[in-house]
Structure 1
Amino acid sequence: MHDRTHARPSRWPLRALALLSATLFCLISWAGTASAHGSIVEPASRNYGCWERWGDDHLNPAMQQEDPMCWQAWQDNPNAMWNWNGLYRNGVGGNHQAAIPDGQLCSGGQAEGGRYNSLDAVGPWTTTDVGDDFTLELYDQASHGADYFLVYVTRQGFDPTTQSLGWNDLELVRETGSYAPSQNISIDVSTSGRSGHHIVYTIWKASHMDQTYYICSDVDFG
């Protein structure tokens, strides 16, 4: 399930309703979005990818068949997508495994009152094709920079379509130093020995305060 393009039927009334709904949701959640920062946009985080593919068409029933994991996420809480840049926890103090239980890694330990719980759902999330060496692209709207990034990839043999993600399923493949404030940060990652569907798990410690982001991106190593 790797194709990120969709041939969608023309449903102009639904599109108009979707755009109106999107506007209302954006207005309702504006305060939270304005104070948030960003996410990994390539390979796309789960909620950014759902927003990117379906934000202007999220009421289209075709999503249920074409992109079922995004469908369940939109049904659970649309604000997880409108606020794709707000999946963080404050005051973790670097003790990530104590703050985030197994099975809740993609929601940041059910952060923001459970807004992102749908991102922990097990199933065939849409993937981005990558090679052994690839680049993560962070879009940081607030330009707060980073104290560090920790980049993990699931071990070979882990199956994201049937297994819930835990810390023991991850291998640390990149640990960075600090980055100056910027809206765009690139992180080169090198792996080996992987094939098929994996989860890239990125921990981003923002530099302006003790605020940490927990980001799941689904990839396919081919």
Structure 2
Amino acid sequence: MTVRRKAAGVLALGFAPLALAGLASAPAVAHGSLTDPVSRVSACFAEGPESPTSAACRAAVAAGGTQALYDWNGVNIANAAGKHRDLIPDGKLCSAANDKFRGLDLPRADWPATAVSAGEHTFRFRATAPHRGSFELYLTKPGYDPAKPLAWSDLEAKPFARATDPALEAGSYVFDGTIPERSGRQLVYTIWQRSDSPEAFYACSDVTFGGGTPGGPGGGAVEQEEGKGEQGSGGETPAPAPSAPSEDAIAEGSEKSSVEHDGHGDDDAKTGAKVTAAAPAAPEQKAGGNAPEANAARSEEVLAETGGSGSSTYLAIGGAGVLAAGAAVLFASQRRRAAAAAGRHSR
């Protein structure tokens, strides 16, 4: 085996794991939530974590604090691996059993709700960091009572909409589905299970059929906040129409996220990671072509394979630079050893 081949072999077996281990320690960014129909956490974040306008969102802040809203794109379970019903108990579906998001589990009939109709619908999931994976959307059964804690038995056994690796358009996954017939207030439960990680994300979206009227089964009940009902005409509590977070709000809110860059720290080396210091520049190589260009091309391939966003391209290039620098050092060392060995034999 030639010295050049030995160097390449040692590089593949030695430097690559070290580089990947370094990338794995970098925090990853959080991932998003359903915005059409708007999820509870997205709607409350859009209202403003410090002073939400709807009674339900104010109650959620009173129960769990404002941080849950700043972390609107992180309702997740890191090791879900499809075991959603085993890991999330009844009454905690909207928070994914995460105590920080406990305010989202409040059984109320006045959560901001999106008016929908049975039939074809285009769904949107705002992804702050794209990943490969599958979406499943479940609808509550007829007779669903929003004034009671949400249980798995309240949802249909099978999803009414599914999508695997849907198209990413303007920062949102977009896919179509057919909404079943319902009446009054209902709830759409979304599960996004990543295929490049056991992590999964969850969202509760309150919806109304038949004009967006408020209430419990059939649209009649009212909410109570500190003993006061905010009644509309006819003794009903109007269901406020929710808005999805604007891009400006997402950018501003990220500064108050509980982890860097909206991250949740799943230590995923393949997607969403970031480098806190500049990677060393790769030395020019006389053989093998232009290393930086080759590394950049390979970086784009890795991003495409793992579902990473274009904003993380610099990470892949930096990682390739680390490998290239290591290769140059190792190759030079092998050449010196070979020259020394040749000198001894010549004697």
Q: For this structure pair, what is the TM-score category when the shorter chain's length is used for normalisation? A: 0.7 to 0.9
* Cα distance in 2, alignment partners of residues 82 and 92 from structure 1: 23
Q: Decide whether the 8 Å contact of 2:137 with 2:160 is kept in 1.
A: yes
* Cα distance in 1, alignment partners of residues 88 and 126 from structure 2: 23
Q: Decide whether the 8 Å contact of 2:37 with 2:114 is kept in 1.
A: yes
The answer to whether residue 31 in structure 2 is matched with residue 37 in structure 1 is yes
The answer to whether residue 137 in structure 2 is matched with residue 151 in structure 1 is yes
CA positional deviation for 1:180: 6.4
CA positional deviation for 1:91: 1.2
CA positional deviation for 1:94: 0.8
1:131-189: per-residue Cα shift (whole Å, max 9, x none)?
A: 113222101111223x21111010111121x1211111111212333346773211222
Select which of 60, 73, 93 maps to 1:105.
93
1:187-216: per-residue Cα shift (whole Å, max 9, x none)?
A: 222133201111100000124311101110
CA positional deviation for 1:116: 0.3
Q: Decide whether the 8 Å contact of 1:144 with 1:181 is kept in 2.
A: no
* Cα distance in 1, alignment partners of residues 178 and 163 from structure 2: 13
Aligned to 1:136: 123
* Cα distance in 2, alignment partners of residues 39 and 99 from structure 1: 19
Q: TM-score, normalised by structure 2?
A: 0.49
Tell me which amino acid in the other structure corresponds to 2:66: P
Select which of 177, 187, 195 maps to 2:164.
177
Q: Decide whether the 8 Å contact of 1:108 with 1:214 is kept in 2.
A: yes
Matches within 5 A, 1:188-199: 188-199=176-187
Matches within 5 A, 1:9-48: 35-48=29-42
Q: Decide whether the 8 Å contact of 1:156 with 1:193 is kept in 2.
A: no
1:67-126: per-residue Cα shift (whole Å, max 9, x none)?
A: 1110011222111111100110011221111011111100002x2xx1101100011211
Structure 1 unmatched ranges of 5 or more: 1-30
Aligned to 2:65: 77
Tell me which amino acid in the other structure corresponds to 1:120: D
Partner SS, residue 197 of structure 2: coil
The answer to whether residue 107 in structure 2 is matched with residue 122 in structure 1 is yes
RMSD of the TM alignment (CA)?
Answer: 2.0
Moved over 4 A (4+): none
* Cα distance in 2, alignment partners of residues 195 and 83 from structure 1: 32
* Cα distance in 2, alignment partners of residues 45 and 193 from structure 1: 20
Aligned length: 179
Which is richer in helix?
A: 2
Partner SS, residue 39 of structure 1: strand
* Cα distance in 1, alignment partners of residues 105 and 163 from structure 2: 26
* Cα distance in 2, alignment partners of residues 159 and 187 from structure 1: 28
Q: Decide whether the 8 Å contact of 1:153 with 1:173 is kept in 2.
A: yes
* Cα distance in 2, alignment partners of residues 48 and 79 from structure 1: 13
Partner SS, residue 160 of structure 2: strand
* Cα distance in 2, alignment partners of residues 190 and 103 from structure 1: 27
* Cα distance in 2, alignment partners of residues 95 and 143 from structure 1: 22
Tell me which amino acid in the other structure corresponds to 2:89: P
Select which of 193, 200, 204 maps to 1:216.
204
Q: Decide whether the 8 Å contact of 1:37 with 1:142 is kept in 2.
A: yes
Deviates further, 203-212 or 96-105: 203-212
Q: Decide whether the 8 Å contact of 1:155 with 1:170 is kept in 2.
A: yes
Tell me which amino acid in the other structure corresponds to 1:177: T
Partner SS, residue 36 of structure 1: coil
Q: TM-score, normalised by structure 1?
A: 0.74
Partner SS, residue 202 of structure 2: strand
* Cα distance in 2, alignment partners of residues 89 and 209 from structure 1: 11
* Cα distance in 1, alignment partners of residues 74 and 80 from structure 2: 16
| Cα separation, partners in 2 of 1:42 and 1:180, compared to 1, 3 Å | closer
Structure 2 unmatched ranges of 5 or more: 1-25, 211-347
Identity among equivalent pairs (%): 35
* Cα distance in 1, alignment partners of residues 185 and 82 from structure 2: 28
